[in-house]
Amino acid sequence: MKRVTKAILPVAGLGTRFLPATKAIPKEMLTVVDKPLIQYVIEEAAEAGITEIILVTHSSKGSIENHFDKNYELESELKAKGKNDRLKLLEDILPKGVKIISVRQPEALGLGHAILCAKPVLADDEPFAVMLPDVLMYHPQQGCLAQMMEVYTENKTSTIALEAVAEQDVEKYGIAGVKLINTGLKITQLVEKPTIDKAPSNLSVVGRYIFTPRLMPLLKRTKKGLGEEIQLTDAMDKLLEEESMFGFEFIDGKSYDCGDKLGYLKANVEYALRDKKLSSSFKDYLADITNTN
């Protein structure tokens, strides 16, 4: 089995759930404390051994590429002023050894279609990761994708991150049917945003995936599904007819759905509470306003 070195990050979506904030700013560039969402996700990718990030992007999303590119003017200004700590922040934006490639998704035909747009930059026999940048995966020790790589290496099958959600939330996510076997959580079924009565479980697909090369040809054949979009979940469900797939339950970390306003606010509060420099004064501030309100 080939090593996974490429991760596809679909960023072409227009982020209409977050208007007006995302009118001129890509939703992936919204900040959590002091870094844009996508920077956290690329750090998680790098920790898992990913060396190439494939952005599937849109003409309005140029600031994402700019963020990870060099800005000579800013760097030389900081250098001239001796502001080395700030210079270091810039140098650390793109993890060492990671390259970014962009491909365009010409039409908004769904997540499955976005992933298919990256096919030309993958070899036919190449496994790959998919990371949805509006989902932040906090983990105190080892990132979610790095942990999934271990499951992938052991089982040599596609591996997807799962997290239990409240019953009323199953219709917001891809939901997996699973069977517990001695090598882990074997996926038996995948349904995109089912109603409660059609949901095979309450285990949601959280936005981190590792796929064998077989997924791409199946995606190519996938017809429009829910919402008249080409759904990644539908191609994954087809993959189950040919290969095994395992779930990685993300239990000892925490995910934040930052495509949702409440999820985004929770991420900001909790990441600020974990930030060494901010946490103490932020805690005092929160205690203060919760007492007075």
- Which positions touch ligand G1P (CB under 6 A)? 111, 132, 135, 173-174, 192, 204-207, 232-233, 257, 259
Least Å distance between CB 7 and ligand G1P? Answer: 15
For ligand G1P, give the closer residue by CB, 9 or 78.
Answer: 9
* CA gap 232, 119 in Å, rounded: 14
- Measured over the CA atoms of residue 61, residue 270, residue 131 and residue 3, the dihedral's sign is positive
Peptide bond between residue 26 and the one before it cis (omega within 30 degrees of 0): no
Q: How far is the CB of 147 from ligand G1P (least distance, A)?
A: 18
What is the nearest approach in angstroms of ligand G1P to the Cβ of residue 284? 34
| Residue 173 CB, nearest approach to ligand G1P (Å) | 3
CB of 54 or CB of 191, closer to ligand G1P: 191
Gap between the Cα atoms of 258 and 185, Å rounded: 26
Of the candidates 92, 169, 104, 158, the residue with the CA atom closest to the CA atom of residue 130: 158
CA atoms of 219 and 43, how far apart (whole Å): 27
Cβ nearer to ligand G1P, comparing 168 with 291: 168
- Here the tokens at position 98 are 């990671």
> Residue number with the shortest CB distance to ligand G1P?
174
Smallest gap from residue 38 Cβ to ligand G1P (A): 15
Cβ-based neighbour number of residue 69 at 10 Å: 12
Residue 192, phi then psi, degrees to nearest 5: -85, 125
CB of 189 to ligand G1P, least distance (A): 13
Find out whether 132 and 44 touch, Cβ atoms under 8 Å: no
Residue (78 or 207) nearer to ligand G1P, CB: 207
Sign (positive or negative) of CA dihedral 269, 271, 274, 276: negative
Chain centroid, CA 70 distance in Å:
24
State the residue for tokens 């490639």: 101
For ligand G1P, give the closer residue by CB, 127 or 207. Answer: 207
At closest approach, how far in Å is the CB of 172 from ligand G1P?
7
Residue carrying the six token digits 């990030």? 53
Which of 94, 131 has the CB closer to ligand G1P?
131
Contacts of 75 (CB under 8 A, 6+ apart): 87, 90
To the nearest whole angstrom, how small is the minimum distance from the Cβ of residue 89 to ligand G1P?
Answer: 29
Looking at beta carbons only, is 102 or 233 nearer to ligand G1P?
233
Beta-bridge partners for 263: none
Pick between residue 28 and residue 257 the one whose CB is nearest to ligand G1P.
257
Pairing of β 128-131 and β 203-211 = antiparallel
